[in-house]
Amino acid sequence: MPTSTPAPPPDPACLFRPYPSSQKGGTLIATDVVDLVAHMKRMCSPDGYRPERCPTCEHPVMHAHDRRTRQCHLDGAPPVIPIARHRCAHPDCRAKWQTLPAFVARHLHFHWRRIETATAATGGSAPRRGRRPSPRSVRRWLGRLGSSAVRLVGLFADGGRTIALGVRTRAELARTLALSLGAVAAWVHELMPGVRLM
């Protein structure tokens, strides 16, 4: 007699909350910036992270607005790294956009490699050096990766990528795509800005 496994829990509401159409600004992800050296090089250039045009209104001029800092707990790096923000020059828009390098996770205090290491082993495994995620954070990450991927599979299908049948969880989705969690998260955000992998 075949045994059926229960359906994964639904994805938490915070993960499937796209930007409202009325929102001006948000987060862009620089998918080609995968390490701290490339990020700092881009931060040193005035146009390193400047968008070609405003993602909100398509205006061609974006001004440097300010810099924020983000924790990401990279080994051998300062405690925080700078993040560039730009503002649309159009007087009716004025949208502000921050650009994250691909190795920094949106809404999480760790970089993607650390998150993958912590969630790879059953129950999570602590990194050998640097700040360690708390057991509570690892449990939350594992819960989110174990939640339903139904809406994400639909999102990928709408984006032109067919996902194999039987993909039920977000972790299975990343394994099926053979991509890192950071790459999957960036693609999800590109397909529907604001939606998160975890």
**Which residue has 């007699």 as its token pair?**
1
Q: What is the pLDDT of residues 102-131, one digit of tens each?
A: 999 988 888 898 899 899 854 445 555 567
Q: What is the pLDDT of residues 22-64, one digit of tens each?
A: 788 899 999 999 989 999 999 998 899 999 999 989 999 999 9
Cα–Cα separations (whole angstroms), residue 24 to 46, 54, 170: 23, 10, 29
Cα–Cα separations (whole angstroms), residue 194 to 55, 113, 165, 186: 13, 21, 26, 10
Domain ranges of the chain: 26-101, 112-145, 147-192
Q: Which two tokens stand for residue 111?
A: 């970089």
pTM for the whole thing?
Answer: 0.82
Chain CA centroid to CA 70, Å: 13
- For residue 78, the model assigns a pLDDT of 80
